[in-house]
C-alpha cells in the first residue's frame, strides 16, 4: 500500500495551474484571473475556489509579476505620467478616459485605477476658454439695449 502524500504536497497547487495563471496575468488582474480559473474548473491546493487573495499569494510564492508590472513593462503610463505629458490634471485624464479620448487598462482590482496607453498621433488638448465681458442684463437673458 503506497504511503499517503504529506500535507504540504496535498495542499500544493498543480504546476500546470501556476503556468496557466502566469499566462492569464499578462492580460488580467488577480481577481479576473481567479474568475477565469474557476470558470475553467481549476482548483487551488488550499481552497475550493480561487479568489484574488489566493492568486496574490500564489504570485508571490512563485515569483510571478503582477498585472500592473506587466503593463508597465509594455510601456503603459500611470495617470500622473499621462497628465504630465498632456499638461493637464489627473482628474482631466480620468475624465478623458471615461469620454473615450484616452485608452486605459485596469491596473488592479481596485475600481478607477488604470494605466494608460502611450500617446500616439493626435492627443486631446484642454480647451483654453476666453471670457468675454458681459453685462448683468445679458447674464439674465435680457438684451442690454
Domain boundary among the residues 43, 64, 85 is at 64
Which is higher by pLDDT, 6 or 24? 24
How many domains does one find in the chain?
A: 2
Q: Same domain, yes or no, for 77 and 58? A: no
Domain boundary among the residues 36, 64, 92 is at 64
Per-residue pLDDT reduced to its tens digit, 56-99: 999 999 999 999 999 999 999 999 999 999 999 999 999 999 99
Smallest Cα–Cα separation from 105: which of 81, 78, 73? 78
- 42 within 8 A of 17, measured Cβ to Cβ: yes
Phi-psi region of 93 (alpha: psi -120 to 50; beta: other; left: phi over 0): alpha
Terminal CA-to-CA distance of the chain, rounded, Å? 105
Question: Is this model's pTM higher than 0.85 or not?
Answer: no
- Whether 25 is covered by a domain: the verdict is yes
- Whether 19 is covered by a domain: the verdict is yes
The range of the structural domain enclosing residue 25 comes to: 7-64
Domain boundary among the residues 64, 86, 110 is at 64
Amino acid at each position: 500500500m503506497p504511503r499517503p502524500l504529506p500535507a504540504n504536497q496535498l495542499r500544493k497547487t498543480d504546476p500546470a495551474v501556476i503556468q496557466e495563471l502566469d499566462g492569464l496575468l499578462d492580460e488580467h488582474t488577480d481577481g479576473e484571473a481567479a474568475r477565469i480559473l474557476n470558470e475553467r474548473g481549476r482548483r487551488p491546493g488550499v481552497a475550493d475556489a480561487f479568489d484574488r487573495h489566493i492568486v496574490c499569494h500564489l504570485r508571490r510564492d512563485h515569483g510571478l509579476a503582477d498585472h500592473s508590472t506587466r503593463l508597465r513593462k509594455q510601456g503603459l503610463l500611470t495617470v500622473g505620467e499621462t497628465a504630465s505629458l498632456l499638461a493637464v490634471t489627473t482628474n482631466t485624464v480620468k475624465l478623458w478616459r471615461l469620454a473615450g479620448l484616452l485608452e486605459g487598462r485596469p491596473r488592479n482590482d481596485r475600481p478607477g485605477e488604470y494605466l494608460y496607453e502611450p500617446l500616439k498621433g493626435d492627443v486631446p488638448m484642454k480647451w483654453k476658454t476666453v471670457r468675454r465681458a458681459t453685462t448683468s442684463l445679458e447674464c439674465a437673458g435680457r438684451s442690454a439695449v
